[in-house]
Amino acid sequence: MARKRIFCLLTGLALMLTSTTAWSAEVHGRSSTQFLWFNDVFTEKKQAEFTESLNLSVTKLDKDGKLSIHGYGRISQDVRNGEGLNGRLYYLYGDYRDLFDKVDLRIGRQYVNYAAGSALIDGGQIELKKVGPVAFSVMGGRNVFFDLNGEGTRSQDFAFGAAAYLAGIKGTDAELSYFMKLDKDGIARNQVGADLKQYLFNSVKLYGNTRFDIVSESFSEVLAGIKYFPSSNLIFTGEWYQSYPTFDATSIYSVFAVNRYQEGVFRADYILNNMISLNAGYSIQDYEGAGADVIEVGCRIRPVEHVQLNLNYDHRSGYGGRLNGGIAEIIYEPIKPLELAAGMHFDVYERDRVTGEETARKFWAAAKYKLAQNMSASVRIEDDVNARYKSDWQGRLAFNYDF
């Protein structure tokens, strides 16, 4: 409840600042009010709830425009099963840019993402820049995570990290970083990571990232890829990805045996003209000796100006069974402020010969109407039919206000 009060105080403070500061602070954001209904996958009960999400930015709090405040939170009220009010504060931090023209500061709840690891923290991040071709960043604070009932963080959960990255070099992005997470039993995560993007000849992009777990002495993730775009409407992509699941060192799951997963992807995307675009891809999946092949093809068609048709088909065979599936979606704009959409997902799969073939289908329809330049309303309804549910209706009504 304290965090909910803080979030409300932030809103009030921001509004007060707009009327009291000589340089006129600016408040921007979005309010999204929604009504949701669905089946709870844990209790298998029908669920209905109202939610309110607020995304807020307060800028120009000082005459130089260096200080700003950003926040985002969500409150939900169950109206069917008596679960009551639930709130989550996802971030709320103050951001001060260009201190001494070299330092950026962030204080508060914030999401920090390094190649070595990422975390939502209650703490701070400091970036040192404009000191040469390399910039530096350090962060640390209370490690925040959520469970089914809200925030699950305990008093001894912390996260720390540091990074060095290239700054101001055209066509090249690179980062080296370190990440550590602590809990009540000691060091849960101890990782290093690297990330690289390199542009060549105005038509090639090389990219890759890796993450190494120091505790298990293994690479938990490795990605290497290349994109080649000989023209603005044609892109070829080739990727190799490897994943070796690692768990917190303080978790019982860290002693379990796991398999290394590898995947090679080849893909082409082609925009034929304003009416038709095509895509096709092939993936080779390897589960330490057992493999699978995946083929995907799709297209986007605009037969007339206000209608768009999306069609996709994928076929998978090998380890884990067989799958044939497709997606068909249509988007129609009868008048400028109104957008209508509908679609069907259809999959036929076979896990093994004992179970035989099963089907999974999803049917959905949606509409969005722009009430004004800063207001819109939308609705989406869908029904899932599969081996678990004969009918699983769920939907969402939303009203969005931008300010």
Residue 189: inside a domain: no
Residue 65: inside a domain: no
d(CA 319, CA 129): 49
Residue 80: inside a domain: no
Side chain identity at residue 328, one-letter code: A
For the CA atoms of 16, 17, 18, 22, the dihedral, rounded to the nearest 10 degrees, stands at 130
**Residue-level pLDDT at 310:** 97
Q: Render 144-176 in DSSP notation, one character per residue.
A: E-EETTEE---TT-EEEEEEEEE-S-TTEEEEE
In total, how many domains does the chain have?
1
Residue 337: inside a domain: yes
Whole-model pTM: value is 0.84
The CATH number linked to 390 is: 2.40.160.40
Helix (H, G, I), strand (E, B) or coil at 21: coil
Which range of residues forms the domain containing residue 397? 268-283+294-403
Backbone angles phi, psi at 6, to 5 degrees: -60, -40
- Which parts of the chain sit beneath pLDDT 50? 1-7, 9-10, 12-22
Residue 311: inside a domain: yes
**Residue-level pLDDT at 3:** 46
**Residue-level pLDDT at 234:** 97
d(CA 78, CA 38): 12
**Residue-level pLDDT at 176:** 98
Residue 328: inside a domain: yes
Residue 35: inside a domain: no
Residue 117: inside a domain: no
**Residue-level pLDDT at 390:** 84
